[in-house]
Each structure stands twice: as C-alpha cells, then as structure tokens.
C-alpha cells in the first residue's frame, strides 16, 4: 500500500482513541472566526503567505523539526504579515493533534487551518473545538475511496459547522471532483501524497487548469525564494510554507524573502 492508504488506516485508529480530543475539553471560544479566504484575497500583489506549524515532516530526509511551542512559533513569524496559519492535526507520523490547533488558535488572531487527512465528521468536530477557521479537504482521498462520506457532503458539513473549506488537488484528474464541492479556497499540492515526492510538472499542469478557481494556493516544496517564485509565476494567489520556515534561524526574515517579486526588486 502507498502512504495515503497507510496513513488513513492509522488516522482511523487514532481518532477512535479517547485521547484524540485531549487538550480540547474546553473548546476554544472564537465567536467571530477570521476568514482565511478574505485574508488571502486581501494580501494584494505581494501574495498571501500561509505558514504551517508542524512537528515532523515525513517527506523530508530528516523528518524531525526544531521544537517550538505554538506561542513561540507565532511570535517568530507574525511580523512577516502572514495571511493565516496552518496547523498539523495528524497524530500518526506527524506528531500533531487537535491540541496543537487549539494552542495555535489561542496564540493568534489570524485564521487557523485545521490540516489533516480528513476522513469524516469526527475531524470536523475536532476542528471546531480547536477554534479553527478552516479545514483542509483532499480530493485524492475521495479518488482513492478513503472517505467516510462524499467530498461534497464533507464540505457542506464543514460549512454547517462554521468552517471554511480549503480543497486540495494534485493531478488534473482530481479537478473534476471540485464540481459540486462548495470550497472557499483551493490549493494545488506539488507533493504526490502517495509517494511523498515533489512532482512540479504535474502540479504546474493542475495550477494552469485550475486558473479560474480562486483564491488559489500553492502547497508544498517551498524551501527557498526561487521555489516561491515558481508558484508566483504560475499565478497563485498565495503559498503555504511549513518545513523550511520551521528550520529557519530567522523565520520572519525567511518569510519576507518569499514575497512575490522580492528577488526581482533586489
């Protein structure tokens, strides 16, 4: 089996544990959740930066990342003018949790994305308890038959809970699954989630084919300004960056170097 089927089985077991919602017994009270969609659209010509808080990166040669609390991470990055934060809620292999999302939501007024391999409504409920503004839904999971409910129904269930939806694709064949899915933000992942390899040619074709789906984020593979420029040149409205900012000595300076056109102005 590939990575997706393995991780889906492990996530089902993790969600079933009584400890899954540990740290969210007292739900985060966010009466007016900020909109990730609006923050991305308001970023303007410089492009939106969505910054990811994570503990491990299984696709990297060295998966273990430097240890920071959610509060430390926000302090180290917020001066770069980020549009929002993403937080890994996946326990197996990533060492994330809904608790991490809750801690991040308490540490910032920016919108927070509950990032997980969402299979069913249990994770949507966890996202609400953690104070997230948005939740990630992955088209590939439906294509592989790994979802508990159809993708469109999960999106509707997310909206019914007050969550925005970031709909992720990788290959052009997944685009047809966006029809009928009420998404607020779209993302194209340059990483194949089954092999964990970066496949830029595939991602570029998908970005071009998805040009009418807005706002559109470029996901994964941003290790340096040149990688960000690759996404900007393809016309994305923003990028999501995680592993590289976690390893950066000066996260805010690194993030500023990723802005659209920064190298061209130097």
**Cα angle at 136 between 132 and 138, to 5 degrees?**
165
Q: Report the distance separating Cα 57 and Cα 17, nearest Å.
A: 23
The pLDDT, as a whole number, for residue 131 is: 96
Residue 29 domain flag: no
Residue 266 domain flag: no
Torsion 154-156-113-130 (CA) sign: negative
The pLDDT, as a whole number, for residue 263 is: 59
The pLDDT, as a whole number, for residue 266 is: 35
3-state secondary structure of 54: coil
* 180 or 104: which leads in pLDDT: 104
Provide the domain count of the chain.
1
Domain of 74, in residue numbers: 3-23+34-261
Residue 17 domain flag: yes
Residue 236 DSSP symbol: -
Q: Which token pair is 201?
A: 């040619």
The pLDDT, as a whole number, for residue 177 is: 83
**Does position 264 have pLDDT exceeding 50, yes or no?**
no
Residue 8 domain flag: yes
> pTM for this one?
0.96
Q: What is the CATH number of the domain that holds 73?
A: 3.20.20.70
Residue 191 domain flag: yes
**Does position 32 have pLDDT exceeding 90, yes or no?**
no
């Amino acid at each position: 089996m590939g990575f997706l089927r393995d991780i889906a089985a492990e996530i089902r077991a993790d969600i079933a544990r009584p400890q899954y919602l540990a740290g969210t017994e007292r739900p985060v009270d966010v009466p007016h959740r900020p909109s990730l969609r609006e923050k991305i659209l308001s970023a303007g010509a410089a492009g939106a930066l969505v910054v990811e808080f994570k503990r491990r990166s299984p696709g990297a040669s060295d998966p273990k990342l430097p240890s920071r609390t959610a509060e430390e991470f926000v302090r180290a990055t917020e001066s770069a003018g980020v549009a929002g934060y993403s937080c890994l809620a996946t326990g197996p292999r990533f060492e994330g949790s809904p608790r991490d999302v809750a801690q991040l939501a308490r540490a910032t007024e920016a919108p927070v994305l509950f990032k997980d391999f969402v299979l069913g409504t249990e994770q949507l409920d966890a996202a609400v308890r953690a104070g997230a503004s948005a939740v990630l839904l992955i088209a590939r999971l439906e294509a592989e038959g790994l979802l508990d409910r159809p993708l469109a129904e999960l999106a509707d269930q997310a909206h019914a809970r007050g969550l925005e939806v970031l709909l992720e694709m990788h290959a052009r064949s997944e685009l047809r699954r966006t029809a009928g899915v009420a998404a607020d933000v779209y993302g194209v992942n340059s990483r194949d989630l089954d092999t964990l390899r970066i496949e830029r040619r595939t991602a570029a074709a998908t970005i071009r084919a998805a040009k009418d789906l807005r706002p559109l984020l470029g996901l994964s593979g941003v290790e340096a300004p040149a990688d960000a420029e690759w996404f900007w040149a393809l016309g994305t409205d923003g990028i999501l960056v995680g592993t590289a900012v976690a390893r950066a000595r000066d996260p805010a300076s690194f993030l500023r170097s990723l802005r659209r056109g920064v190298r061209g102005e130097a």
